[in-house]
Chain A
Amino acid sequence: MNSVSTSQLWSKRALFVGICVVILFFRVLPLNTLPPLWTGPDLLLALTIAWVQRRPEYVPALLIAAVMLFADFLLQRPPGLFALLTVLVCEQLRTGVAGLRDASFAGEWIAAATAIVGVTLLGRAILAMLLVEQAPLGLTVIQMALTILSYPLVVLASHLVFGVRRPNPGADDMAKGRP
């Protein structure tokens, strides 16, 4: 039932890259060139973490590294840093996934929130240590909070639209599962 065929595996990986490209595409559209007072969530990060927690085999580390490095280059971020942090955090989550398998959605959400906060704070700390000019703290905090809040929606969309479900959709999973 839950065997993952090679073609399905690769089509899901391709789907991940496709979604990331679409997200990036909409982020670089020149819709508003005034400096914003607030920011939207970092959907790329939320999506990656959601997929890692749901189906780690769909998002291997190399794929995450490649996509995030590309995003770093495209979005004028310090290249490599956020890719590195995302890969590290995702590996951390991946080792925790086995234990999380039977956990409720709240547990998953807390793990995701920890990961998002970790990426943001570590990124800022490293940039501060290397004396790199940084974005205002307020915007970063808003983005972090919105990313955490958007996580359930990203999971829901992944579940319903993109078919990224836990490997064993048993009855207990459904009962305890998503809100």
Chain B
Amino acid sequence: MLDQLINTGSKATRDGFGAGLYEIGKLNPDVVALCADLVGSLKMEAFIKDFPERFFQVGIAEANMIGIAAGLATSGKIPYTGTFANFSTGRVYDQLRQSIAYSDKNVKVCASHAGLTLGEDGATHQILEDIGMIKMLPGFAVICPCDYNQTKAATMAIAEHYGPVYLRFGRPNWPVFTPENQRFEIGKAQVLSAGADISLIATGHMVWQIVEAARALAAEGISCEVINVHTIKPLDEETILDSVSKTKCVVSAEEHQRNGGLGESIAGLLARRLPAPMEFVAVNDSFGESGKPMELLDKYGLGIPDVIAAAKRALQRKS
């Protein structure tokens, strides 16, 4: 199955968001969109061109954008807010908590440029804490798709899910390896490739990194089960437990702090239900810096060699 995970051409997940927003805009007249002065970065132009009356330019005022979205949702609209992940979360955490989560509002917080792969803009914009912040808010779903096609599908699927959603995606062109026009099932992890020796579990851009790592490990005779957890919350506990009960060890990988991320969610699950050796591929309590996306992944321990090394450590602990 690893052989079938082919890069069909690189595109940015944020372009997937823009395409999905346009499609869901055509299908669902209740969908409205808001942006805080980043229309081009969020690829919202197609939606705005065809549905100008359903788009609201808020300017550089993210807190106000979240509040307006809450009011639109109160009245039955399905608002999609668009800005960078940093400004979608840390900057507006209290608004998300009180006006969206605690008030049970059906708002879709769509966040681009997440993680180190934002690149040259540096640590001010490279948020690595957003998954942790949002997964702590009761009622919020946290979704981080792995490529263009999946981000497009997820953008459309979240309109059908009633409740607040955090949709996380990124800036760079990235391998596209999941099917076009796929059905996106919120809360359902995907076993991309079955394996026997170790479970490699990732979210977002790092899914491609574990696919490549699994190929290298396969060449050494190590059989990896490759799992894409595109929904960090609610976590698909059964798929993870089924896999780990077979492989008996795990590596998690994410473009996020180790504290508060997907790996921590998996570790919590395993501690409660199925303790097993686990290694974490994540940023370890530091900020990023300016650089090219792949350089940054390598420097901060998120490269393919880092996944391979983590897998070998986990395998060693298992034996």
Whether chain B is bound by chain A comes out as: no
Q: Residues on B close to A: CB < 8 A?
A: none
